[in-house]
């Protein structure tokens, strides 16, 4: 299997530390609001990575953290504390906010057929581990205390710029703003490990520590959680490209300084989902969530297909026009498979077709080329000398990676025609309610419910959900 490694800037043969089990660490969400579909693109790519490794025969142990602690925007004590801000805005405790958005995140993951990583670790459950790592870094004089805070001294870690390919000089330019904001640092590029003295004096989440009552810096959670669950040598670390600097750069510096040896061999990063104005973000433009797409009548799996149609290392420009096309393609694909399935006994499938499985595998082993993998699927659907049974059996195998619910009858979606019919019935029901014909309104609701379509009346009108 070949993967692009951000560490070496090359496509490399993937060789795990232990051939029986591959370890993967993926940075999880910051749970102060919903994930946007850009975030979800990254999780889809990571899901494909894990499932491809399974497909080619590896066992995978994967860990994801949940950032549920005050998460300042940068290493300097500037920006906003996202968790505190959200809890003030919503009038809830930080832990309640975190739980709510964690649940919402896993609901999105589930609807996109993304496998939940084997181990999910909350940042707030690992304070003990951060303290230990910081103590070791202080003992080694790689970290220092200044005005109540603990910082990592980047000059003590010689390969600091290896991952990002930045130079010391351009980092200084990037960090210039920080110099004016955080005078406690020795070097502008140093980053916080523990904060007791920050401008967020009313920070809700604080813990006692040998360095004073405070809270951890932005990066320490991932190093400590990865080492705790996956050991001192990690195979693959992934995330979106915005994680390369400073987050993953700082993770490497901390982890390797703490361990005293190389930590992770492969860093694999997914490109952005952009909107017309550039990188999609939580604070800019229309906030595109999976729920919003669903409300607009899109099937989550159409979005998954849209992501799989492009390579994870290419930028993907989101537009509703592109999603319409993907939805249409998905619908046609499902119809083709449905037709094929008509005369096939799913419980008695023959072996899958070796030639097509190999072709499919080769595309994925080529740095996860999912669009070519889809082409192989289309070729298989078209080819004439393979029986329907064998095709279905092969599609079933392929769908272990693609996860487009190709064989399920009751996927969480409606095609365009069905959608129009449902909308017409909803309109009819609204009219019936207006003239107080509740009998008809109830009849329509029941009729739809029998088809797995649940109506939800809101102040803005009636929307629907399709039961899986």
- Of residues 27, 123, 444, 453, which one binds Zn ion by CB under 5 A? 27
**CA distances from residue 149 to 145, 290, 453 in whole angstroms, order as listed:** 6, 39, 55
Instruction: By CB under 6 A, name the one of 49, 192, 273, 406 that touches ligand AMP.
Output: 273
SS3 state of residue 244: helix
300 scored as a contact of ligand AMP (CB under 6 A) = no
Instruction: Output the smallest distance, CB 138 to Zn ion, in A.
Output: 22
Distance CA 398, CA 393 (A): 9
Nearer to ligand AMP, 160 or 218 (CB): 218
DSSP letter assigned to residue 148: T
Q: Give the closest residue to 101 by CA, choosing from 129, 71, 142.
A: 71
Does 306 sit near ligand AMP (CB under 6 A)? no
Binding of ligand AMP at residue 27 (CB under 6 A)? yes
Tell me the site size for ligand AMP, rule CB under 6 A.
15
Candidates 42, 87, 209, 249: give the one binding ligand AMP (CB under 6 A): 42
* Residue in 242, 291, 418, 423 binding ligand AMP, rule: CB under 6 A: 242
240 binds, among ligand AMP, Zn ion, none (CB under 5 to 8 A by kind): ligand AMP
Q: Are strands 264-270 and 234-240 parallel, antiparallel or unpaired?
A: parallel
Distance CA 202, CA 87 (A): 12
The number of angstroms, rounded, from the C-alpha of 365 to the middle of its chain's C-alpha atoms is 21
DSSP characters over 253-303: HHHHHHHSS--EEEEEEEPPEEETTEE--TTSSS---HHHHHHTT--HHHH
Are 238 and 226 within 8 A, CB to CB? no
Q: Would you count residue 222 as binding Zn ion (CB under 5 A)?
A: yes
Residue 165's Cβ-side half-sphere holds a number of Cα atoms within 13 Å equal to: 7
Backbone region of residue 260 per phi and psi (left: phi > 0; alpha: psi in -120 to 50; beta: other values): left
Contact of residue 38 among ligand AMP, Zn ion, none (CB under 5-8 Å per partner type): ligand AMP
Out of 240, 255, 374, 406, the residue judged to bind ligand AMP by CB under 6 A: 240
- We find the least distance from the C-beta atom of residue 235 to ligand AMP, in angstroms, to be 18
The only residue of 280, 305, 307, 380 in contact with ligand AMP, by rule CB under 6 A: 280
Token readout for 266 is 């492969």
Residue 33 within binding range of ligand AMP, rule CB under 6 A: no
Among 5, 39, 209, 363, binds ligand AMP (CB under 6 A): 39
| Measured CA distances, 196 to 84, 91, 192, 202 (Å) | 16, 24, 10, 11
Regarding 150 and contact with ligand AMP (CB under 6 A), the answer is: no
Q: Which residue in the set 14, 23, 24, 38 belongs to the binding site for ligand AMP (CB under 6 A)?
A: 38
From 5, 30, 255, 363, residue interacting with ligand AMP (rule: CB under 6 A): 30
The pair phi, psi for residue 401, each rounded to 5°, is: -95, -50
Which of ligand AMP, Zn ion, none does residue 30 bind to, with CB < 5 to 8 Å depending on kind? ligand AMP
Q: Is 63 in the site for ligand AMP (CB under 6 A)?
A: no
Q: What is the Cα–Cα distance from 47 to 145, expressed in whole angstroms?
A: 40
Q: Does 279 bind ligand AMP (CB under 6 A)?
A: yes
Residue 216 near which of Zn ion, ligand AMP, none (CB within 5-8 Å, type-dependent): none
CB 118 within 8 A of CB 307: no
Residue 240 C-beta: closest distance to Zn ion, Å: 10
Summarize as ranges the residues that interact with Zn ion (CB under 5 A).
27, 222
Summarize as ranges the residues that interact with ligand AMP (CB under 6 A).
27, 29-30, 38-39, 41-42, 239-240, 242-243, 272-273, 279-280
């Amino acid at each position: 299997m070949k993967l692009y490694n951000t560490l070496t800037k090359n496509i490399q043969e993937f060789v795990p530390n232990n051939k029986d089990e591959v370890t993967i660490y993926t940075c999880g969400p910051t749970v102060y609001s919903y994930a946007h579909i850009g975030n979800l693109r990254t999780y889809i790519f990571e899901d494909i990575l894990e499932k491809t490794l399974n497909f080619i025969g590896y066992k995978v142990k994967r860990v994801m953290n949940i950032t549920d602690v005050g998460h300042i925007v940068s290493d300097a004590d500037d920006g906003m504390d996202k968790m505190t801000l959200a809890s003030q805005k919503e009038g809830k405790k930080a832990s309640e906010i975190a739980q709510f958005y964690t649940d919402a995140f896993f609901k999105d993951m589930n609807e996109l057929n993304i496998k939940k990583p084997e181990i999910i670790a909350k940042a707030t459950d690992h304070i003990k581990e951060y303290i230990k790592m910081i103590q070791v870094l202080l003992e080694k004089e790689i970290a220092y205390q200044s005005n109540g805070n603990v910082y990592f001294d980047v000059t003590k870690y010689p390969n600091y710029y290896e991952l990002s390919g930045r130079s010391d000089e351009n980092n200084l330019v990037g960090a210039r703003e920080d110099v004016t904001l955080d005078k406690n640092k020795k070097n502008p590029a140093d980053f916080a490990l523990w904060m007791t003295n920050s401008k967020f004096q009313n920070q809700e989440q604080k813990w006692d520590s040998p360095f004073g009552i405070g809270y951890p810096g932005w990066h320490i959670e991932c190093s400590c959680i990865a080492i705790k669950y996956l050991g001192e040598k990690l195979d693959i670390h992934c995330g979106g490209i915005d994680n390369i600097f400073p987050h993953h750069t700082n993770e490497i510096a901390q982890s390797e300084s703490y361990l005293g040896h190389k930590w992770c061999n492969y860093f694999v990063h997914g490109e952005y989902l952009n909107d017309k104005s550039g990188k999609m973000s939580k604070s800019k433009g229309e906030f595109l969530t999976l729920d919003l797409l669903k409300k607009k009548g899109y099937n989550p799996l159409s979005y998954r297909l849209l992501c799989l149609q492009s390579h994870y290392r290419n930028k993907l420009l989101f537009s509703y026009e592109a999603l319409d096309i993907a939805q249409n393609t998905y619908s046609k694909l499902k119809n083709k498979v449905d037709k094929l399935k008509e005369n096939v006994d799913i419980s008695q499938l023959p072996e899958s077709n070796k030639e097509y499985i190999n072709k499919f595998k080769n595309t994925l082993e080529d740095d996860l080329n999912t669009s070519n993998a889809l082409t192989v699927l289309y070729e298989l659907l078209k080819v004439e000398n393979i029986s329907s049974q064998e095709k279905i059996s092969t599609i079933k195998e392929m769908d272990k990676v693609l996860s487009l619910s190709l064989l399920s009858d009751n996927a969480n979606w409606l095609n365009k025609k069905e959608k129009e019919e449902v909308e017409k019935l909803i309109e009819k029901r609204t009219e019936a309610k207006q003239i107080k014909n509740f009998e008809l309104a109830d009849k329509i609701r029941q009729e739809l419910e029998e088809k797995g379509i649940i109506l939800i009346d809101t102040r803005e009108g009636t929307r629907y959900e399709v039961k899986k």
